[in-house]
Structure 1
Amino acid sequence: MDDAVRKRKELREQLLGHSRGSLGQLTEDEEWWAAHQPWLESCGYILRQRYRPGWEASWHESRKELLDCEDHLAISYWFLLDATRASDGQPVIFKRINVMQFPDEVEVTSMLSSPHLAADPRNRCVPCLEVLRVPNEDNLSIIVLPLLRDYADPRFDTVGEVVDCLGQILECVQFLHDHHIAHRDIKSGNIMVDASNMYPRPFHPLDQTMRADWRGRARHFSRTERPVRYHLIDFGLSTDFEATEPPYLDYPVWGGYKTVPEFQGDGYYKQYDPFPTDVYYLGTWIRQDFLDGIFGGENNNLVVTSKRLGLEFLRPLVNEMTREDPAARPSIDEVMDKFNALLRSRVAKENDHPLYSMYLSVTHWCRRLKLVATRRPAIPCPDGTR
């Protein structure tokens, strides 16, 4: 085993924070899913070996290291589980929803996948493949979603790829607002990508650096070579005002970003228009993830998300989108009208080591020459809408 592989295994051991013994037992959250495995199978879904009846940890009876065994991977969130659709082998994610806590999420998510709305090319809300009603538990439903990954993973290769990502998400919010739906929790964690087109072999749903069959690293193309679709997810806080007469007002709910000016102080107890707040959320996402980066630690010197160079052309628009006065922010239609300055240069992360940046530069231009030779567009587009 070479040093790189050994270090990776040691790091993953530390991150897991579990002993071999504890990983060999299901957690209480996992036991719920395992108990419902027969029902989920009857609905047409196959769970991983870990959640099937009679499972025993494979590393107990073999000489393999724990991290070489796929079944050591436990779920990260109690309400999410990966599975495979038996009819066509599509990897999916189950999201368990307490309809008493989030009464509108199932309805809004499934409604956005209705044939009429799905036909709109701007609709990049996560597709709802099916809704399952949990037997004997009236307050629980499961929505079946496609397997996605973090929108920025793998890393962006060009400004054109970033422009495509931003354009798709802005269009999706425009679509929602046109239908009088406010998302109310737009943030980095609720923006995902369907990267299946980038991967010749499927990636694993939990350790997405690995192949689904656990036989090596998951290799991928760039977004320019294999265009992707980005999706907004999580409609647990969303509000549909379709049947409401304007003005569209509601009481605040805290989403992922806690800096919303209109929610501060007494503003949290007053009704507000959530549509300008969606624009604020979008601007905050772009500013933090692409322009400024996110820093943490005691002295704010820990880079959580590094800013990307070459995107300052977005700064004036982002400043407008995040104005303190909601009435002074542009509408999403106005944002789309202003979103027209596109560049062709590479997206380089500011905190890359110089040697790594040099490596990226060489490999970047090798890819660029290949793409020029094959006449690939600078701004990838999965469906030819832009």
Structure 2
Amino acid sequence: MAQFSLSDSKYDLSKLRSEEIFWRDHQTWFQDCGYMLRPRYMPDWKPSWLDNTRSIEHEDAQPLLRGDIINDATRLSDGAYVTLKILKPSVHPYEVDIATFLSSKQLASDPLNHCVPIYEVLRVPGDDDKVIIVMPLLRGWDEPEFETVGEAVDFFRQLFEGLQFMHKHHVAHRDISILNVMMDGSMYPDSWHPCDRDQMRDNFLVPAKRFSRTERPPKYYLIDFGLSRRYDPEDKAPLEVPIRGGDKTVPEFQKDIHKPRNPFLTDIYYAGNLIRLGVMKEYKGFDFMQPLISDMVQDDPAKRPTIDQVVKHFAEMRKNLGALKLRARVGPRDESLGAVRDFRHLFATIKYTLKGIPPVPIR
């Protein structure tokens, strides 16, 4: 069931893994700061499955997926679920400043802001090179899959808006990739378990309840500003020595890696390539995006559009998409049983239409 495919014979789940020790040792401090970790990280934790039941079926048998830097917690003040991320300023000296700037009070209310909110920055006692940023609990932008073209169109819009917001405030992300875009829990009224996002948080054996994106539209967020940089507003075309992020395919990084490049134009490639690989390559029905995406991923950075031009082009293209196209079912390119899914989708479409739910989700 669990996404990390553990088996009792291979792992002793009754013992914390090395990357989990930090969280247990700092549990009391986190609690004093207002955040409660899950039972597995209590100082006096004892496995709940010592009655000879299968350990993998128990919530406290689930080790962290990226325990070296990521954990989740419950905020004691209001019960909200949050993500805790460890940062090392010696490795990413600008991340905290940029992340907190983008979620600062004066910028947080901007509807175009799709940068992950930073609720708080915690300084780990006794370690000058370790801080914790507190963020909302998020999940991957593509889980579950899109059901309609309109749902994907809403994703494209929010991604472009978020990048436009960053560039407007003279910040280049420099690492937009499939892993660095996420969404909130709007679709999941009771949240989900951080170690298996298909399951309930409080009852690991029960599937997490969810609505479609059309019914409960999510907000998408850009995350991870470890490679991001903020530039002087007077510098309209800054140059920066490339740093390879998660997407290794950037054309201008394939030759002369030491030649400074305009990071804003690289961001355009990153965003376009995310859509090309994460949506258009995986699903049918997005040929209408081809002209724009082709422009965004051109080999010559100077020929790529600015983000303002991308937003304008996309808005014009969106006007030409009718309700029938927007409500059309999104199908994986390699799917089977498509006819059966089309039949089911017809009933969902009728339901949404009768309820007056628009084909492109509106928050």
> Shorter-chain-normalised TM-score: which range?
over 0.9
1:64 to partner: Cα distance? 2.2
Q: Output the amino acid matched with 2:9.
A: S
SS in structure 2 at match of 1:30: helix
Of 20, 29, 35, the residue aligned with 1:30 is 20
Partner residue in 2 for 1:158: 148
Aligned residue for 1:52? Answer: 42
Which residue is equivalent to 2:160? 170
What is the alpha-carbon distance in structure 1 between the residues aligned to residue 151 and residue 141 of structure 2?
Answer: 11
CA distance 1:321–1:271, change in 2 (3 Å): same
Equivalence map 1:1-386=2 (5 Å): 8=1, 12=2, 15-16=5-6, 19=9, 22-60=12-50, 62-77=51-66, 78-194=68-184, 196-214=185-203, 215-242=205-232, 245-266=235-256, 268-292=257-281, 307-339=282-314, 340-341=317-318, 342=321, 343-344=325-326, 345-354=328-337, 357-382=338-363
Output the CA distance in 2 between the equivalents of 1:125 and 1:13: 27
TM-score (structure 1 length as normaliser): 0.88
Distance 1:67 1:362 in 2: 37
CA drift of 1:158 comes to: 0.6
**TM-aligned CA deviation for residue 119 of structure 1:** 1.7
**Matched AA of 2:77:** S
Q: Match of 1:79, as an amino acid?
A: I
Q: Does the Cα contact within 8 Å between 1:49 and 1:55 map onto a contact in 2? A: yes
Q: Give the superposition deviation at 1:202.
A: 1.9
1:300 aligned residue? none
Paired residue type of 1:66: S
- Distance apart, 1:18 and its partner CA: 5.3
Cα deviation for residue 53 of structure 1 reads 1.2
Task: Give, as a single letter, the amino acid of the residue that structure 1 aligns with 2:329.
Answer: R
Residues 327 and 89 (structure 1), Cα distance of their counterparts in 2 relative to 1, 3 Å cut? same
Return the alpha-carbon distance in structure 2 between the equivalents of residues 334 and 246 of structure 1. Answer: 16
User: In the alignment, is the contact (CA less than 8 A) between 1:34 and 1:52 conserved in 2?
Assistant: yes
Shift of 1:183: 0.2
TM-score (norm 2): 0.94
In structure 2, what is the Cα distance between the partners aligned to 1:242 and 1:17?
52
The structure-2 alpha-carbon separation of the partners of 1:170 and 1:18, relative to structure 1 and needing over 3 Å to count, comes to farther
> Closer, same or farther in 2 for the Cα pair 1:373/1:39, shift >3 Å?
same
Give the direction of change, closer, same or farther, for the CA distance of 1:14–1:157 in structure 2 (3 Å limit): closer
Map Cα deviations across residues 35-57 of structure 1 (whole Å, 9 max, x no partner). Answer: 01010000000111100011111
- What is the one-letter code of the residue matched to 1:281? Y
Q: Contact 2:273–2:297 (CA<8 Å) still a contact in 1?
A: yes
Q: Quote the Cα distance in structure 2 between the aligned partners of 1:313 and 1:243.
A: 35
Q: Verify the 8 A CA contact 1:190 1:232 in the aligned structure 2.
A: yes
Q: Distance in 1 between matches of 2:107 and 2:232?
A: 13
Kept in 2: contact 1:228–1:381 (CA 8 A): no
Seen in structure 2, the aligned counterparts of structure 1 residues 246 and 337 have a Cα distance that, compared at 3 Å, is closer
Contact (CA 8 Å) 1:179, 1:242: kept in 2 or not? no
List per-residue Cα deviations over 1:268-297 (Å, max 9, x = no partner). 1011100010000011111111122xxxxx
Q: Distance in 2 between matches of 1:18 and 1:248?
A: 53
SS at match of 1:250: coil
- Secondary structure, in 3 states, of the residue corresponding to 1:144? strand
- For 1:348 and 1:327, the matched residues in 2 are separated by 35
The answer to whether the 8 Å contact 1:181/1:242 transfers is no
- Please give the alpha-carbon distance, in whole angstroms, between the structure 2 residues aligned to 1:200 and 1:264: 45
Q: Which amino acid aligns with 2:192?
A: F
Which amino acid letter does the alignment assign opposite residue 370 of structure 1? K
Asked whether the equivalents of residues 3 and 196 of structure 2 are also in contact (C-alpha less than 8 Å), the reply is no
Q: CA deviation at 1:260?
A: 1.0
Q: Aligned with 2:12: secondary structure?
A: helix
Aligned Cα root-mean-square deviation (Å): 1.5
Aligned amino acid, residue 346 of structure 1: R
Q: Secondary structure at the match of 2:348?
A: helix
Equivalent position amino acid for 2:190 in 1: R
Determine helix, strand or coil for the equivalent of 1:197.
Answer: coil
Counterparts of 1:217 and 1:227, CA distance in 2: 20
